[in-house]
A and B are shown apart, each in its own frame.
Chain A
Amino acid sequence: MSALLDIRGLRLGIGSRKRITPILRGIDLAVAPGEVHGLVGESGAGKTMVGKVVLGIQPARAIVTGGSVAFAGRDITHLRERARRSLMATGIALIPQDPMTSLNPAFTVGAQIVDVIRLHLGLDRKAARERALALLADVHIRAPARVIVQYPHELSGGMRQRILIAIAFSCRPKLIIADEPTTALDVTVQRQVLRLIRDLQRDAGTAILFITHDLGVVAKLCETVTVLHAGRVLERGPVAEVIERPRHAYTQALMKATPRYDRPGETLTPVPPELTAALLAEAAAYDAGQAGAGNA
């Protein structure tokens, strides 16, 4: 089966022409249609940057120095703005990390949902409003007619995240990039939001690239997982395998640092600094190899 999202050897650095700091060091990642794929890693591993490159919203100073990103068999690494725009929302959508700042404070929630629907599905105002109300009901908002005329600052974080989820699913995309969608939420709300995303995903058959640092979430939600560290893929495979029998020392260390409901009382140990140092040395060696190859 051909992958929906196929990232091959993606390299990316931040900086000017003279000095580029590598962020992604040859990432390979594939997401099949309808699959929920976890992308795990600690802060600074580059997992959010992978999502941004797929969406084409990486910062201006971030330069793709090698590799390719293909979506539905089409290379989208260096897509022009106009072509990328037609791909957004209907092809790829985003559930952002911070629901507090990802909605425009100047407009009602309804206006923001209706805008997306009208832009991509070409519905008239009335039909778009009907659709928006249905979407709000889908994300379990109890009084859609009231919420639709409210401004973002009048709503709680959980409510806002539901609205962003509704926007992400609104144009039936094939792939959703979920960038730590629960990190900014209360623990009690996190579970509900995760379940919501999973239910919607199952109904619509959407593939999700789920970016998180939480292996517990990956275990519950994802089918396959990629472990990222310092911009390199350390391990990948079906979730059950990677979580039960992690092969890479880093994944094993990560598992020991994650609390598990099925093994209460287990002592947690942080990732040993020697391991981190060794991995960073490997990354530096990779950079040196790249630089050598570039000069040769």
Chain B
Amino acid sequence: MAEAAAARESGWRRALANRRVVAGAAVLLLMLAAAVLAPLLAPFDPLDQDLVNSFLPPAWAASGDPQHLFGTDNLGRDILARLIYGSRTALIVAIAAALGAGVLGTALGLLAGFYGRWVDSAVSRMVDVWMAFPAVLLSIVLVAVIGAGLHAVIIAIVVIDWTRFCRVVRAETLVQRRQDYVASAQTIGLSRWRTLIREILPNVVPLLIVLFTLEMGIAIIVEAILSFVGLSVSSDAPTWGGMIQAGRQYVNQAPWLMILPMLCVIAAVLALNALGDGLRKALDPLMRR
């Protein structure tokens, strides 16, 4: 019993032994904590303006105010508070968009890979056509059509990035479908649908975990881009992209307005990529032997 349990956990244990996974997960957890506990953690209301104290530099600078750790922006709003609330937007978009793209792409990829023939042709051609569009342009057009807002950003990312999941899942399903265990499942009388969902899908899950973390990183960047061009949530709501855009005008006067949110985006994306890469290394050989 003990041996079996140990072996079952070995995949996750290997994942935890990987430094990239640990570092990535740590940053992600920090972000998650900031997003969930934002009202408790933020020292000020992110929307409170204080024009007397605008352009305060970070606390460690010569004229910094220890009350505003990362300083204030052009309207005197506390930057730390805005960064913390910004992580909420970033995470909501990252999780919702990756989930949506994952579900849509995985469903189509499984069907294409398993049923083959015209289903595969139809899905594959659709993916090809989809990928011929420049992603950023398409997302800007989409959001412009749907109308700016958080839901629009999420929909735009799902509509564009499902192909990422679809291609990988289709290829993996093709591989799995030819495995003997699938033929065996048929000889014990499982239906084709049940074979796909119960036998093949679980063998694709390790890949999905990896893709999901990578997609979260991509979603954060796309959200920042869309905020930057003013197509995300309303302009006064704190988002990292919006802060970068607003700070751009004062980059000579107060560079921290732009640098700090940029660092947040970079850290988040790096962490998610490291996590994804590390998980891939740890989970792949276990399932694939």
Q: Which of B5, B185, B186, B203 contacts A105 (CB 8 A)?
A: B203
Q: Is the CB of B189 within 8 A of A103?
A: no
Q: Is the CB of A102 within 8 A of B181?
A: yes
Shortest distance between the CB of B262 and any CB in chain A (Å) = 41
Name which residue of chain A comes closest to B203, CB basis.
A106
A151 partner residues in chain B, CB cutoff 8 A: 4, 7-8
CA distance A154 to B188 in the complex (A): 23
Q: Is the CB of B192 within 8 A of A101?
A: no
Given A94-B184, A96-B184, A154 and B203 touching (CB < 8 A)? no
Residue-wise interface mask of B (196-229) relative to A, using a CB-CB cutoff of 8 A (1 in contact, 0 not): 0001001101000000000000000000000000
B145 at the interface (CB under 8 A from A): no
B187 at the interface (CB under 8 A from A): yes
CA distance A101 to B185 in the complex (A): 12
Q: Which of B180, B189, B191, B205 contacts A96 (CB 8 A)?
A: B180
Shortest distance between the CB of A95 and any CB in chain B (Å) = 10
B183 at the interface (CB under 8 A from A): yes
B199 partner residues in chain A, CB cutoff 8 A: 104, 106
A20 at the interface (CB under 8 A from B): no
Q: Which of A60, A81, A107, A154 contacts B202 (CB 8 A)?
A: A107
B179 at the interface (CB under 8 A from A): yes
Shortest distance between the CB of A179 and any CB in chain B (Å) = 10
Q: Is the CB of A57 within 8 A of B179?
A: no
A-B contact count (CB 8 A): 85
Q: Is the CB of B187 within 8 A of A101?
A: no
B190 at the interface (CB under 8 A from A): yes
Q: Which of A63-71, A83-91, A124-132, A262-270 contacts B (4 or more CB under 8 A)?
A: A83-91
Total number of A residues with any Cβ neighbor in B under 8 Å: 38
Q: Which of A94, A97, A115 contacts B187 (CB 8 A)?
A: A94
Given A104-B181, A104-B203, A105-B203, A116 and B4 touching (CB < 8 A)? no
Q: Is the CB of B4 within 8 A of A57?
A: no
Name which residue of chain B comes closest to A55, CB basis.
B187
A146 at the interface (CB under 8 A from B): yes
Q: Is the CB of B189 within 8 A of A119?
A: yes
A55 partner residues in chain B, CB cutoff 8 A: 186-187
B179 partner residues in chain A, CB cutoff 8 A: 101
A77 partner residues in chain B, CB cutoff 8 A: none
Q: Is the CB of B4 within 8 A of A149?
A: yes
A214 at the interface (CB under 8 A from B): no
B132 at the interface (CB under 8 A from A): no
Residue-wise interface mask of A (155-170) relative to B, using a CB-CB cutoff of 8 A (1 in contact, 0 not): 0000000001001000
Shortest distance between the CB of A149 and any CB in chain B (Å) = 5
Given A101-B179, A102-B180, A154 and B187 touching (CB < 8 A)? no
A98 at the interface (CB under 8 A from B): yes
A120 at the interface (CB under 8 A from B): yes
Q: Is the CB of A93 within 8 A of B188?
A: yes
A258 at the interface (CB under 8 A from B): no
Shortest distance between the CB of A113 and any CB in chain B (Å) = 10
Given A105-B287, A106-B203, A153-B289, A96 and B183 touching (CB < 8 A)? yes
CA distance A96 to B185 in the complex (A): 11
CA distance A85 to B183 in the complex (A): 13
B52 at the interface (CB under 8 A from A): no
A150 at the interface (CB under 8 A from B): yes
B137 at the interface (CB under 8 A from A): no
Which interface residue of A86, A94, A101 has the most chain B CB atoms within 10 A? A101
Apart from the given pairs A102-B181, A106-B203, A153-B289, 4 other A-B contacts in the complex at a CB distance below 8 Å: A104-B185, A115-B188, A116-B188, A151-B4
A residues at B contact (CB < 8 Å): 55-57, 60, 81, 84-90, 92-94, 96-98, 101-107, 115-116, 119-120, 145-146, 149-151, 153-154, 164, 167
Closest A-B pairs by Cβ, 6 of them: A88-B189, A106-B202, A94-B187, A102-B180, A101-B180, A85-B189
